[in-house]
């Protein structure tokens, strides 16, 4: 019943804000235009279409707001007036009462506001679908004061999200049963992934831990700043972090006037994304402009500032390797390798003809190489890719849906910063270096180091195991068990010896090559 009522509530909002009129107005068929006139008769729809869409999404709740945030970064897919209005969803959702925020903080820490903060600004500086942010000052145990940002969870979010997710689960079940593409699209698994990360976003302790992990991962990159977490002031409903000072990345003209190299900023964004995805397998998955600023401080000038870590994505080593190989083959225009990887990974049926899939991928991708983002119609690319995926029964990978959403954000952000950005040439050197690190001598040495404690434990046991086997002439079962153990230990030892041998050979070859180069040079 609750799902039924929520469905009617959604339809009522759609009708009240005239979203049906927005859809029908974009369709060219005369009959549909006449239907639009009938449906809108008697309704006062005098507000601009972008404002109506934004207000409807705000009223519908956090899931719909997040959908609007993604659309707001895609000015290539949305009319400019609609994209500009939807950009207000990034950090300008109507705030909730500041007294509710104060009550939440005091309830969480069981102290009055004055006992927690030296000062607290009751006027929120940003408000989004899940939480809002206030500035404050804290004093640490040594008496030093720190400027901080206090994030407070919006009340009643779990109930609203649960209702929408229940409706989405029901619709996913219908789609899987009734649609021809239901099995391939895996709607139930996709909604389950969506369910997981939305509920994770409601726990600010989890968000704080995400921020701490990303901060550690990004320490040596010198391209992005991530706020420090003040753990003594964190709770499930409240998170306190270092206050970051910068200019919102959407204010491109202001950044340009300050002397920021905008094309470099766009390239750095691509580097940060690919580093988080392929090096760390742990990436910021909500990178719309409302969550990104740029530092103008002299010591960190031109660096990104990342905020809001409620949604992060993770990838397994298997997914990272196959994705990297796919990207690299794509950047090299090796479409046969792309097709073969899809078959090897099980993303398409095993009986798929590689040559046919190769030709289809080439037809979609080749027209867009060597073009800047300004000349690429992503809508056309997505439509053709979807047609190809249906033809070859490409299965949706639910664990990669978050990555695909983030890639849309990154590409949209790059388009806003620098329409002439060459996404392919920017990403290709990074992936080539990453693949070399994964397949080359460095990977071998890391594996040896990681397995060294295990080998050190196994090697002293080999004489004992061998002695037990040779001296024991008891039951056949004991002989078989000992023989299996001996063979297991022998295989492990062989791998160690092979690794040491390969490492030694590589070292010797390296010395020989170095000597040759020195002789040539001098």
Q: Reduced to 3 DSSP states, what percent helix, strand and coil does the chain have, rounded to the nearest 5?
A: 65, 10, 25
- The Cα 280–Cα 218 span in angstroms is 9
The three-class DSSP label of residue 472 is: coil
Q: Measure the CA–CA gap between 63 and 61, rounded to whole angstroms.
A: 6
Sign of CA dihedral 328, 333, 335, 336: negative
Please give the Cα distance from 38 to 477 (Å, whole number).
84
Gyration radius of the chain's alpha carbons: 28
Tell me the pairing of strands 126-127 and 131-139. Answer: antiparallel
User: Which tokens go with 27?
Assistant: 């369709």
**What b/e sequence results for 349-373 when a residue is b if at least 16 CB atoms lie within 10 Å of its CB, and e otherwise?**
eeebebeebbebbeebbeebeeeeb
Tokens for 113, please give them: 């506001």
Cα 276 from Cα 284, distance rounded (Å): 8
Q: Rounded CA gap, 166 and 470, in Å?
A: 64
Whether 286 is catalytic: yes
Is-contact 283 277, C-beta < 8 A?
yes
- Please give the structure tokens belonging to residue 176: 């899987």
CA atoms of 254 and 247, how far apart (whole Å):
8
Q: Record the tokens describing residue 402, joined without a space.
A: 């978050």
Q: Which two tokens stand for residue 517?
A: 């180069």
Q: Out of 268, 286, 308, 418, which one is annotated catalytic?
A: 286
Long-range contacts of 362-365 (CB under 8 A, 24+ apart): 362/335, 364/388, 365/330, 365/333, 365/335
Beta-strand pair 312-314/292-294: unpaired
Instruction: Decide: 438 and 321 in contact? Cβ < 8 Å.
Output: yes
Positions annotated as catalytic residues are 286
């Amino acid at each position: 019943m609750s799902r039924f009522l929520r469905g009617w509530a959604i339809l009522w909002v759609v009708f009240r804000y005239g979203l049906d009129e927005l859809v029908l107005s974009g369709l060219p068929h005369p009959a549909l235009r006449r239907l639009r006139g009938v449906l809108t008769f008697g309704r006062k729809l005098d507000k601009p279409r972008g404002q109506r869409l934004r207000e409807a999404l705000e009223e519908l709740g956090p899931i719909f707001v997040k959908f609007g945030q993604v659309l707001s970064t895609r000015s290539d897919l949305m009319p400019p007036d609609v994209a500009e209005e939807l950009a207000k969803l990034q950090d300008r959702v109507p705030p909730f009462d500041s007294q509710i925020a104060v009550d939440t903080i005091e309830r969480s820490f069981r102290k009055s506001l004055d006992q927690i903060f030296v000062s607290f600004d009751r006027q929120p500086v940003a408000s989004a679908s899940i939480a809002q942010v206030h500035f404050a000052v804290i004093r640490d145990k040594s008496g030093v004061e720190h400027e901080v940002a206090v994030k407070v969870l919006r009340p009643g979010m779990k109930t609203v999200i649960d209702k929408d997710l229940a409706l989405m689960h029901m619709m996913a079940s219908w789609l899987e049963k009734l649609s021809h593409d239901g099995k391939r699209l895996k709607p139930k698994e996709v909604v389950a992934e969506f369910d997981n990360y939305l509920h994770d976003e409601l726990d600010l302790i989890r968000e704080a831990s995400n921020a701490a992990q990303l901060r550690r991962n990004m320490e040596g990159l010198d391209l992005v700043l991530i706020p420090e977490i003040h753990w003594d002031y964190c709770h499930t409903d409240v998170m306190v972090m270092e206050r970051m000072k910068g200019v919102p990345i959407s204010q491109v003209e202001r950044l340009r006037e300050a002397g920021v190299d905008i094309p470099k900023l766009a390239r750095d964004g691509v580097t940060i994304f690919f580093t988080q995805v392929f090096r760390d397998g742990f990436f910021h998955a909500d990178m719309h402009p409302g969550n990104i600023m740029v530092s103008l401080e002299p010591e960190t000038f031109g660096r990104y500032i990342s905020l809001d870590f409620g949604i992060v994505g993770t990838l397994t080593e298997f997914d990272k390797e196959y994705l990297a190989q796919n990207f690299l083959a794509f950047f090299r225009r090796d479409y046969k390798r792309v097709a073969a990887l899809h078959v090897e990974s099980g993303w398409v049926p095993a009986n798929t003809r590689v040559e046919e899939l190769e030709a289809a991928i080439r037809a979609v991708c080749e027209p867009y190489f060597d073009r800047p983002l300004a000349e690429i119609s992503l809508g056309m690319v997505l439509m053709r890719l979807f047609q190809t995926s249906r033809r070859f029964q490409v299965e949706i990978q639910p664990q990669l849906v978050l990555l695909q959403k983030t890639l849309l954000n990154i590409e949209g952000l790059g388009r806003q910063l620098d329409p002439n950005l060459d996404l392919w040439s920017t990403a290709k050197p990074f992936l080539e270096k990453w693949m070399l690190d994964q397949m080359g001598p460095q990977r071998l040495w890391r594996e040896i180091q990681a397995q060294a404690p295990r080998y050190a434990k196994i090697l002293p046991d080999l004489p004992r195991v061998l002695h037990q086997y040779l001296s024991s002439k008891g039951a056949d079962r004991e002989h078989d068990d000992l023989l299996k153990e001996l063979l297991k230990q022998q295989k492990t030892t062989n791998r160690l010896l092979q690794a040491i041998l390969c490492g030694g050979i590589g070292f010797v070859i390296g010395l020989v090559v170095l000597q040759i180069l020195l002789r040539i040079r001098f």
